[in-house]
A and B are shown apart, each in its own frame.
Chain A
Amino acid sequence: MKINLLSLTISAALLFTLRGDYSQYTIGDKVENFTLRNVDRRMVSLSDYDEAAGIIIVFTCLHCPYAEMYEDRIIQLHRKYAPKGYPVLAINPTSPRLFPEDNFEKMRARAQQKRYPFAYLQDSAQVVLARFAAARTPHVFLLDKSRIVRYMGAIDDNAENPRAVRQRYVENAIDALMRGERPYPDVTRAIGCPIRRPKPVPPVDSATASPRW
């Protein structure tokens, strides 16, 4: 009886550490470093921002009307807060397999056309996305100096009409952090375009496929 329980616990622990499928970040979690390709073709890491007071991570894309409506506001966020130590870091988590219109060259063209003042990274394999519950675009994760998630959710309370916005969630959250306070609300919900993950491709020939342990 005791041996069974022990081996069960060890197996469970092993499985947990080896499966590589970690839980998703939420408020209070520290975000691990990641590296993705920027539209200027260079690799950019989260650690490149170690000197910043915080980071405004924004998941966004090209094919979604919601993301389109927020594009200018994302640029404005960077212009307002980067000088205060809070730059925007945009990530496109779209799989070009599902949305060919969201490929790297189109991202480059858009960033150039709108003169994005921030890095715009491609996460086509959705590796970084997997750690963030960024279920839709656009979606913001505000990190503080220690890379801890302090706010996640919508940019403000009106996607369609910037002039009718009453609550600027992200701005309020950053202002709170600058005062040494806790953002409130620290989580908001929003409708946006769901981020789809391509279905895994099954092995062609089971005899030659790599063994799944």
Chain B
Amino acid sequence: MRIFYTLTFLLCLLAPNALEGQVFKIYDNFSELEERIAQAPRSTLLVINFWATYCKPCVKELPLFNQLHSKYAGPNFEVLLVSLDFKSQLEKKFVPFLRSHPLSPEVILLSDQNADSWIPRVSPEWEGLIPVTALILGEERVLHEGDFEHLEELEQFIRDFLHRTGQTALMHSGG
């Protein structure tokens, strides 16, 4: 019985952080995000939004990604919300924020502080300004700097990219 409790306890330590249904992962190193990206099948579109609770325009556009997620998420369409909030302010800022702003896509807290080393790995053109949204499909990648004002704008950005890569079928609702 003791073994069972110990195992359960250990499993809980390994599990993603869960708080009343809002699950998120912490990546301490950017290479973990690179690994996550590399693990996605080549036919899967990744929509990755970089944001932070302290960035007003980032917070303002988050509902669009909720809407995008409910409209298109499926086996070939993934939405990741990568926060650049501070790990040291997890309980004080990040967790309360998630409590009051439910987010349906996958949420990742990237706590890798060596930003100069990983910003160019997202895109050589990116200077680090957030919000920024990256679209990744296999080897293809494109970046949109700044926020989106409407869902249509975000959809058009994705549609244009998929059109260029010949994968328009991925935009069909319901995955």
Interfacial residues, chain A to chain B (CB-CB below 8 A): 64-66, 69, 133, 135-136, 153-154, 157-161, 164, 166, 169, 185, 188-194, 196
Contacts and interface: CB of A to CB of B under 8 A. Distances in A.
Interface of B: 52, 54-57, 84, 86-89, 111, 113-117, 119-120, 126-130
Contacts of A65: 54, 86, 89
A65, A133, A185, A196: which has the most chain B beta carbons within 10 Å? Answer: A65
29 contacts: A65-B54, A65-B89, A66-B54, A133-B127, A135-B128, A136-B129, A153-B116, A154-B115, A154-B116, A157-B116, A158-B113, A159-B86, A159-B113, A160-B86, A160-B88, A160-B111, A161-B88, A164-B113, A166-B114, A169-B116, A189-B119, A189-B126, A190-B115, A190-B128, A191-B119, A191-B130, A193-B54, A194-B55, A196-B56
| B contacts with A: majority SS | loop
6 A-B pairs with the lowest CB-CB distances in the bound complex, closest first: A158-B113, A189-B128, A188-B116, A189-B119, A135-B129, A65-B54
Contacts of A66: 54
Contacts of B86: 65, 69, 159-160
Contacts of B55: 193-194
Contacts of B119: 189-191
A65 B129 CA distance: 15
A161 B54 contact: no
B129 to A, nearest CB: 5
A72 to B, nearest CB: 15
Contacts of B111: 160
Nearest to B128: A189
Contacts of B115: 154, 157, 159, 189-191
Contacts of B88: 160-161
A182 to B, nearest CB: 18
A161 B113 contact: yes
A119 B129 CA distance: 26
Given A135-B127, A136-B129, A191 B84 contact: yes
A190 B56 CA distance: 18
A105 to B, nearest CB: 22
A105 B84 CA distance: 30
A192 B113 contact: no
B128 A160 contact: no
Contacts of A166: 114
Contact of B114 (A64, A158, A192, A196): A158
Given A65-B86, A164-B113, A192 B57 contact: no
B128 A136 contact: yes
Contacts of A136: 128-129
B113 A157 contact: yes
Contacts of B56: 196
